[in-house]
């Protein structure tokens, strides 16, 4: 759905699995797709060929297999293509028509042995060609080297043979031809070639090594340092600028992630970058006198081009804070656009320790100030002192606020049974005054819910974003440990079916989690009719699958796994599209390596796992039991315990599989009874009862629950009258509390 997104940067992570084909389509405006150096498997999606706006495609250093999609050559605007270091097989892809291609690397794959592709010399924009370790055979066409922009050709470790011929019309930009370790039998030497030819490991080189020293170079080194004058001696950590002045430069590394060239020896390339940087700084009116580029290197692991950048100040020997902030901002936020051959980049600065003092006025203004001060007398001095005092007080207050924001838990008391200081991942700190302002002093009009802990208030951030703020009452059952557990967990988990943490407040003895705002309240309110939204059968199934996926994420995809410990309809929220979001992690715990943790029994009456109650051993099956009760709520519309009656026992006692709808007509919610297909409804009840088995070993995992609900939804959606094999046939005597096998339809 991200049709307006220009860039996907996922390189150099630990991402795995297959890239889904549905991710790409013709309506996208994606220009950069970088997934290099991950652990992706499966085939390259052929839907990539539909993204006509693509310019940079890096799929290298993964575990892709299968053949390259035949429609990849539809991407006529791509100028950088890396598919190297995978397990791709079949024929080499035919990229005819990709006339904008500058950089092509197809190395180190398992392609079928084939002759040198005849279409490569037709790529008129090609600057760099890398095809090594692919079993390439036959002779290299002489026309290849006549491509007018060609700089680098690397074809080593193949089975190329015949004679290596270079026409007199070779590119004047050509710097390197590397055909080492092939089967080339002859090469006509012509004195004066301005480029390097590497032939070691070929029969020609081995048999006629004499006289080939000019061409057979084993290693290649480039040293590039742009300097407009002889360096002068500087002291005190200063550096000589290109204008031969000593100063403290702002330094860092420009890391280009998809350059269209490998040749590092062409100084003109860097002069172009240097000039464009200077022109950009001048247009932005930044205090820059000159820039200098040094030590360009190619990162062999990622094919990134790294260039050391020095930016020198104008009019003085160091930058002030404004100058540093301006330069850092335009580089770090990629506002500067380098020449197209360099491509996309990131900037990492080295910090700046030499900030200049900001001028505060001339001697003349100082003298004038003295005269005025002497004229008006001590009263003005007293006023000034008062103003300075107020200013100092405010500055001190701001400093204290800044310190609090940098360490909001400075006053956390770990001795009051609250555990160690919370360890958060990217959560935002809000002060009490901010939340007070954004909730209109916690007004009743912003009160959107309450519980044993206290109340939940709606707040509006300055940017218009709505949030939900949970504020505990004095004497609330929720203490510091629960607050700590909730913000720690939510700060590190992100899933569409788990409520998001916007931040927290630990200020003035208040402990308030701040969540994303979920507009349609709780599932409990929805089932009771308080929200005014009619939850028909398909909507209830959609809510059930969403909550199940949220729990599956906590159990299976978070490391270490998380046990919620308080799953109930009141802790499942409904967003604007009635999608479910699991919330309230105050009682949650991380699961130990043994598959359970021994802990004090906690939870909500009616939802609690009897096995956990008996053993104090908390497992993921404890959440499954609670979720089974929620499923029974969804299908009956009843609360778990009402006037001494327990919903689980009610359903089991009424259950009779020999009768229509298993004899549950009186218990089912009328909306469900009238709107659901009998078969899907029966399957749903069977699943719920399987979840509430007394023994955890007999309950399904959440992943199995998800699959079963998906099956029920698919049957309901496609053909509500289909006669299908029912899993309920495996459930016998449910009302007797027996253990039964769980199977999937």
Nearest CA-CA partner of 71 in 99, 52, 55 = 52
Nearest residue to 52 via CA among 75, 22, 19: 75
Q: Which residue, 491, 489, 515, 493, is CA-closest to 435?
A: 515
The length of the chain, given as a count of residues: 745
Q: Please give the structure tokens belonging to residue 511.
A: 């402990």
Contact predicate 503/430, CB 8 Å? yes
* CA end-to-end distance (rounded Å), the chain: 32
Do residues 739 and 721 lie in contact, with contact meaning Cβ atoms separated by under 8 Å? no
Separation of alpha carbons 577 and 119, rounded Å: 51
Dist CA 154 CA 554 (whole Å): 48
Q: Which of these, 720, 675, 372, 352, lies nearest to 538 by C-alpha position?
A: 675
Helix (H, G, I), strand (E, B), or coil: what is residue 201? coil
470 is in an annotated binding site: yes
Q: Which residue has the tokens 């890398």?
A: 130
Q: What is the DSSP letter of 429?
A: B
SS3 at position 140? coil
Q: What is the DSSP string of 475-498?
A: T-S--HHHHHHHHHHHTT---TTB
Active site residues: 566
Angle at 615 between CA 610 and CA 616, to 5 degrees: 95
Strands 617-618 and 597-598 turn out to be antiparallel
Cβ density class 674-687: b for 16+ within 10 Å, e for less: ebbbebbbbbbbbb
Question: Tokens 């607050």, residue?
Answer: 483
Given the structure tokens 């919330």, which residue do they identify?
583
Q: How far apart (Å, rounded) are the C-alpha atoms in residues 407 and 423?
A: 11
> Could you identify the residue written with the tokens 């037709």?
122
Q: Taking a C-beta distance cutoff of 8 angstroms, is the pair 209, 203 a contact?
A: no
Report how far Cα 669 is from the mean position of its chain's Cα atoms: 42
Q: Report DSSP state, residue 62.
A: S
Number of C-beta neighbours around residue 590 at 10 A: 14
- Which are the contacts of 435, defined by CB distance < 8 A and separation ≥ 6? 459, 469, 505, 512, 514
Binding residues for ATP: 470
Binding residues: 470
């Amino acid at each position: 759905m991200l049709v307006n997104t220009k860039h996907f940067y996922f390189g150099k992570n630990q991402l795995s699995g297959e890239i889904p084909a549905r991710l790409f389509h013709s309506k996208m405006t994606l220009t950069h797709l970088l997934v290099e150096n991950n652990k992706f498997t499966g085939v390259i999606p052929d839907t990539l060929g539909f993204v006509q706006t693509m310019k940079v495609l890096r799929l290298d250093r993964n575990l892709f297999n299968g053949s390259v999609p035949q429609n990849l050559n539809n991407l006529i605007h791509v100028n950088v293509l890396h598919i190297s270091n995978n397990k791709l097989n079949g024929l080499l892809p035919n990229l005819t028509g990709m006339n904008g291609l500058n950089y092509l690397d197809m190395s180190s794959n398992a392609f079928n042995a084939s002759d040198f592709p005849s279409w490569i010399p037709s790529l008129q924009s090609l600057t760099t060609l890398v095809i090594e370790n692919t079993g390439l055979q036959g002779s290299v066409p002489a026309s290849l080297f006549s491509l007018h922009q060609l700089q680098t050709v690397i074809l080593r470790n193949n089975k190329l043979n015949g004679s290596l011929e270079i026409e007199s019309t070779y590119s004047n930009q050509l710097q390197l031809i590397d055909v080492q370790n092939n089967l080339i039998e002859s090469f006509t030497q012509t004195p004066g070639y301005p480029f390097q030819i590497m032939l070691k490991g070929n029969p020609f080189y081995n048999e006629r090594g004499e006289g080939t020293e000019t061409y057979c170079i084993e290693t290649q080194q480039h040293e590039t340092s742009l300097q407009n004058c002889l360096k002068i001696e500087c002291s005190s950590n200063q550096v000589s600028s290109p204008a031969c002045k000593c100063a403290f430069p702002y330094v860092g590394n420009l890391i280009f992630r998809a350059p269209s060239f490998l040749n590092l020896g062409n100084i003109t390339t860097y002069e172009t970058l240097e000039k464009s940087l200077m022109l950009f700084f001048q247009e932005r009116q930044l205090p820059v006198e000159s820039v200098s580029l040094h030590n360009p290197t190619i990162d062999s692991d990622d094919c990134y081009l790294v260039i050391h950048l020095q930016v020198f100040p104008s009019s003085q020997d160091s930058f002030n804070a404004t100058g540093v902030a301006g330069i850092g901002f335009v580089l770090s936020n990629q506002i500067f656009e380098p020449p197209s051959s360099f491509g996309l980049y990131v900037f990492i600065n080295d910090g700046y320790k030499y900030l200049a003092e900001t001028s505060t006025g001339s001697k003349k203004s100082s003298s004038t100030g003295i005269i005025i001060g002497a004229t008006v007398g001590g009263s003005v001095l007293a006023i000034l002192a008062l103003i300075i005092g107020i200013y100092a007080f405010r500055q001190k207050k701001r400093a204290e606020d800044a310190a609090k924001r940098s360490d909001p838990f400075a006053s956390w008391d770990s001795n009051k049974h609250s555990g160690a200081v919370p360890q958060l991942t990217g959560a935002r700190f809000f002060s009490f005054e901010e939340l007070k302002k954004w909730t209109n002093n916690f007004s009743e009009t912003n009160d959107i819910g309450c519980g044993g802990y206290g109340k939940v208030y709606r707040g509006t951030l300055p940017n218009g974003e709505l949030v939900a703020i949970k504020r505990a009452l004095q004497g609330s059952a929720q203490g510091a440990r629960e607050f700590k557990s909730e913000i720690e967990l939510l700060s590190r988990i992100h899933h569409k079916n788990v409520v998001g943490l916007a931040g927290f407040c630990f200020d003035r003895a208040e402990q308030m989690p701040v969540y994303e705002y979920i507009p349609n309240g709780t599932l409990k309110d929805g089932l009771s009719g308080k929200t005014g939204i009619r939850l028909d059968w398909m909507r209830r199934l959609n809510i059930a699958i969403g909550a199940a996926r949220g729990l599956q994420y906590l159990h299976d995809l978070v490391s270490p796994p998380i046990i919620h410990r308080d799953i109930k309809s009141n802790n499942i929220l409904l967003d604007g599209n009635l999608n479910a979001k699991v919330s309230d992690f105050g009682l949650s715990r991380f699961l130990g390596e043994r598959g359970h943790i021994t802990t004090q029994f906690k939870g909500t009456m009616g939802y609690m796992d009897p096995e956990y109650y008996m053993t104090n051993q908390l497992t993921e099956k404890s959440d499954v039991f609670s979720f089974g009760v929620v499923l029974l709520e969804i299908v009956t519309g009843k609360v778990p315990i009402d006037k001494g009656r327990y919903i689980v026992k009610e359903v089991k006692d009424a259950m009779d599989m020999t009768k229509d709808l298993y004899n549950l007509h009186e218990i089912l919610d009328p909306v469900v009874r009238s709107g659901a297909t009998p078969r899907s409804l029966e399957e749903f009840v069977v699943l719920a009862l399987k979840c509430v088995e007394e023994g955890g070993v007999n309950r399904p995992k959440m992943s199995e629950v998800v699959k079963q609900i998906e099956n029920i939804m698919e049957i309901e959606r496609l053909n509500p009258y289909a006669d299908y094999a029912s899993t309920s046939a495996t459930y016998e005597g449910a009302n007797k509390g027996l253990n039964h096998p769980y199977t999937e339809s």
